Structure 1
Amino acid sequence: MQLYNTLSAKERAALIKEAGKERLTISFYQYAHIGNTSIFRNHLFIHWDALEVLGRIYVAHEGINAQLSVPADNFDAFKGHLDSISFLQGVRLNIAIEQDNMSFLKLKIKVRHKIVADGLNDASFDVTNKGVHVNAVEFNQLIEDPDTVLVDMRNHYESEIGHFKNAITPDVDTFRDSLDIIENDLADHKEDKKLVMYCTGGIRCEKASAYYKHKGFKQVYQLEGGIIEYARQVENLQLENKFKGKNFVFDHRRGERISEDVIANCHQCGEPCDEHVNCANEACHLLFIQCASCADKMNDCCSDACKTVHELPFEEQKVLRRGKTVSNKIFKKGRSEVLKFKK
């Protein structure tokens, strides 16, 4: 039985367009003990492929982390399948604020060592001793308290386009990098301050809150459901929105607008802009912020060198890419020296 995706993104996009079905973009996670991760992974693929689910899902012995899209008319069947799995019954689903039928174009379910790369030795502390979960109402009240320290647990390229007012936004490339930096910076306030954390959908804060309690922080809180659920509650309950800008998301949309504020700048000309793009040169593919004017001028590329390569015939580009890797450059999102106005 075929247990892997065989269609290209282009082929899948054409099928989605032809089908004309509305799709829902969804994310969820759950920490749980999974014995045989390969069997569980294959079980998910068989059922979800039949439901036309597309997305990026990580399975590990510690649980599951999923970002995906599903046809709206298959949602009930998809939810029913989740509820048939004991540890996923009733799991909170973060449904995107802004929908896009092309948010995912392949179904990729991968077995990983961890569902979030945190670099922590989980055996060294109690991962179940987590911080207090707070909803949007409680969160808004907490972050106005002068005894609160609000920390963004995301990476620099995420917080650059949007964050809560007065939040500490560590200038880091990875979640793991932020853990020690935050602990060191707040070392003098482990007893007297309320440590309040947030991230995209809540998964990073689940582990971080337990880690910081282990490190001696006495009052630890986390925004339940992350920015995605916060935005939903703000809209449904007509609350004051304390998030400024866009929420970076890990699919083809790259961002959801939470407020009309544009707090970032084009990395090439410095004009206000918060649109992330990938360099059109396939040998680069750098993630950076680019305005429409620079996109037109630079032919969707990050530099003159990449523009020159991108304008070559496709076969010549393939020859130049042969034997080379760009993973490190992609990883250093927005850090390239060719970007004059990078953060």
Structure 2
Amino acid sequence: MQLYNKLSAKEREQLIDEAGEERLTISFYTYAKIGNPQLFRNHLFVAWDQMQVLGRIYVAHEGINAQLSVPAKGFNAFKNFLDQIYFLENVRLNIAIEQYNKSFLKLKVKVRDKIVADGLNDDTFDVRNKGVHVDADQFNELIEDPNTVLVDMRNHYESEIGHFKNAVTPDVDTFRESLDIIENDLKDHKEDKNLVMYCTGGIRCEKASAYYKHKGFKNVFQLNGGIIEYTRQVNEKGLENKFLGKNFVFDERRAEKISDEVIAKCHQCGKACDTHVNCANDACHLLFIQCDECAQKMDDCCSDHCKEIIQLPYEEQKKLRAGKHNSNKIFKKGRSPVLKYKV
């Protein structure tokens, strides 16, 4: 029984091109008690591999967090499969605003301690006691209330290219960092202000809202379905769009355009730009914002050093990387002394 990928990303990309069929990029999550995450993980992999589903999925005792690419013609079969799992029946599926057939090139289903790394001890508070879910219309009304504090629960590199008007955007690298910072900044307004939160698809706010209620915040609200669902409702209902810029996404697209505003700048020259790239030097791989002119000038690299490295023969580059463990530090988003214009 096949439980892991056997095709490389390049091989899968070729198959997608040859098939010439449309695919849908979808995300969903749910908190549920899963007794045996490894068994559930294997069940999902076997079924979804047969359906040609690709993506990144995290499974834990507390639930599932999934970002997927599904063949459009197989969407109904995929939905029927989910509906046969009692805690996934009629789960909200966030369908991407901008579709790209190669948003994912492998199927990765991983067992984790948490479906989102929040650093919280869930035994210390009731994770079911969540904030009030609001739709796009209610959200627009709430954030215009002078009694509201609107907080972006995402990381700095996400909010840098797009966020809601007047939102507090913590300068953090991880979700877990933002929790204590926000609580401390708003400690004097636990009873007299509306705490309204949003994130990409809603999952971070699910846990954060319960945590803040546990911490004494009286009026806690969260944008149901996050920015993705908000955009869908705005487009369908003709509502005013209060989001500025792009919504960062965690697949090959890197972002979805929500409005025409460009609120970020190239990290190398300072020109208005909101295009994220990864440094072409595989030993660096830094995620940063780069305009077309700098990309051409720097050969898609973040620094002169990396530019020199990629000029070497590939085998020499491999030798330089040999024996060196690439920790998560090489994936620091937009944090590097080589970048002149950064948050």
Return the alpha-carbon distance in structure 2 between the equivalents of residues 218 and 206 of structure 1.
Answer: 16
Match of 2:225 in 1: 225
Q: What is the Cα deviation at residue 71 of structure 1?
A: 0.4
Counterpart contact for 1:284–1:329, Cα < 8 Å: no
Q: Deviation digits for residues 170-207 of structure 1, max 9, x if unmatched?
A: 00000000000000000000000000000000000000
Match of 1:286 in 2: 286
Q: What is the Cα deviation at residue 342 of structure 1?
A: 1.0
Return the alpha-carbon distance in structure 2 between the equivalents of residues 147 and 69 of structure 1.
Answer: 40
Q: What is the Cα deviation at residue 319 of structure 1?
A: 0.2
SS of the aligned residue for 1:247 comes to: strand
Return the alpha-carbon distance in structure 2 between the equivalents of residues 303 and 195 of structure 1.
Answer: 41
Counterpart contact for 1:191–1:218, Cα < 8 Å: yes
Return the alpha-carbon distance in structure 2 between the equivalents of residues 205 and 326 of structure 1.
Answer: 31
Counterpart contact for 2:285–2:331, Cα < 8 Å: no
Return the alpha-carbon distance in structure 1 between the equivalents of residues 330 and 86 of structure 2.
Answer: 37
Using the size of structure 2 for normalisation, the TM-score is 0.99
SS of the aligned residue for 2:141 comes to: helix
Match of 2:255 in 1: 255
Return the alpha-carbon distance in structure 2 between the equivalents of residues 79 and 95 of structure 1.
Answer: 12
Return the alpha-carbon distance in structure 2 between the equivalents of residues 204 and 323 of structure 1.
Answer: 36
Q: What is the Cα deviation at residue 233 of structure 1?
A: 0.3
Match of 2:243 in 1: 243
Match of 2:104 in 1: 104
Match of 1:115 in 2: 115
Kindly report structure 1 stretches of 4+ aligned residues shifted beyond 4 Å: none
Q: What is the Cα deviation at residue 332 of structure 1?
A: 2.0
Counterpart contact for 2:283–2:330, Cα < 8 Å: no
Q: What is the Cα deviation at residue 328 of structure 1?
A: 3.3
| Residues 1:175 and 2:193 are matched in the alignment | no
Q: What is the Cα deviation at residue 137 of structure 1?
A: 0.1
Q: What is the Cα deviation at residue 291 of structure 1?
A: 0.5
Using the size of structure 1 for normalisation, the TM-score is 0.99
Which amino acid is 1:211 matched to?
Y
Counterpart contact for 1:98–1:256, Cα < 8 Å: yes
Identity of aligned residues (%): 78
Return the alpha-carbon distance in structure 1 between the equivalents of residues 216 and 2 of structure 2.
Answer: 49
Counterpart contact for 2:29–2:64, Cα < 8 Å: yes
Match of 2:152 in 1: 152
Match of 1:299 in 2: 299
Q: What is the Cα deviation at residue 40 of structure 1?
A: 0.3
Counterpart contact for 2:287–2:333, Cα < 8 Å: yes
Match of 2:205 in 1: 205
Which amino acid is 2:225 matched to?
G
Which amino acid is 2:76 matched to?
D
Return the alpha-carbon distance in structure 2 between the equivalents of residues 325 and 332 of structure 1.
Answer: 15
Match of 2:15 in 1: 15
Return the alpha-carbon distance in structure 2 between the equivalents of residues 326 and 145 of structure 1.
Answer: 46
SS of the aligned residue for 2:336 comes to: coil
Match of 1:25 in 2: 25
Structure 2: which 5+ runs fail to align?
A: none
Return the alpha-carbon distance in structure 2 between the equivalents of residues 310 and 112 of structure 1.
Answer: 35
